[in-house]
Amino acid sequence: MRISPYGSLIVALVTPFDAGLEVHYARARSLAARLVSEGCDGVVVSGTTGESPTLTAEEKNRLVAEIKEELGDKARVWAGTSGYNTKESVELTRRADAAGADGILAVTPYYNKPSQEGLYRHFRAIAEETGLPIMLYNVPGRTGVNMLPETVLRLAEIRNIVAIKEASGSIDQSSQILASCPDNFYVFSGDDSLTLPILSVGGSGVVSVAAHVVARRLRDMLDFYREGELTKARDLHLRLYGLFKVLFITTNPVPVKTALELCGTPCGGFRLPLCPPHEKEKAHIARVLVDLGLSENSG
């Protein structure tokens, strides 16, 4: 496990909505504060788990400002700013910087499937417009393009590109990056279920969805691993594995928002094109939560 200055447990925050599907800023602040109190070192605001494609630029900026005001120096606030338009991504990054973000989470452009050179130029353009640390985000299952280790290593040479949220599902890919990256570049798992395997090859932690409901247990798992209590870390991983998988039973963040509601922390509905899970999916989520002692509601 490579210890990073950015901590090891970062939560990819959902965006709470009110009954009219307007952003519920007070609830977002409260949720972020609770998760930090339960052991999260950082919070990603307006990332894809936060339904960023449906948020306006103004909503994204206000979320950053409000949550930074709420957390102060207790945790780092990462702003999701990248999309499929480099010029727009650069502008969103500038605005997030001005709103008080502590770092940028920049996902690979989706739909237009740029080449590896195009990916390099996209992220370099963002990095040139901010002094904030940038965490790359590779999630080919959602974007349609896989950023190869060779491209990541080129980007890691840029001063303020400091980490990657790696969600390709490939331990080989994380291993290739970690075998050759600078000592001050860090790999975070983008999949809760692969956190422990990625730690074992030198990863630094996780940008987590499951932390919304099991932050304290994930904090313990990461701390056990760091302290050499490998059996305890493994046992926690295996205990939580069913939750890790059920939170992706349908499109993220639909399951985790449903889980929060079942655990007594409602975060509202979903902006189209996302919609609620069907009853079988909700019942499956509920059963896993009951099994873990997180909810008494069996659906």
Q: Hey, which residues are catalytic here?
A: 137, 165
Contact present, 100 and 75 (Cβ < 8 Å): no
- Interatomic CA distance for residues 9 and 208, integer angstroms: 7
Tallying the residues shown for the chain, one arrives at: 299
Q: Which residues pair with 55 in a beta bridge?
A: none
Q: Which residues pair with 134 in a beta bridge?
A: 104, 161
- Interatomic CA distance for residues 287 and 258, integer angstroms: 12
* Neighbouring C-beta atoms of residue 129, cutoff 10 Å: 14
Q: Where are the beta strands (DSSP E) in 147-281?
A: 161-166, 186-189, 205-208
What is the DSSP code string of 237-274? HHHHHHHHHHTTSSSTTHHHHHHHHHTT-------TT-
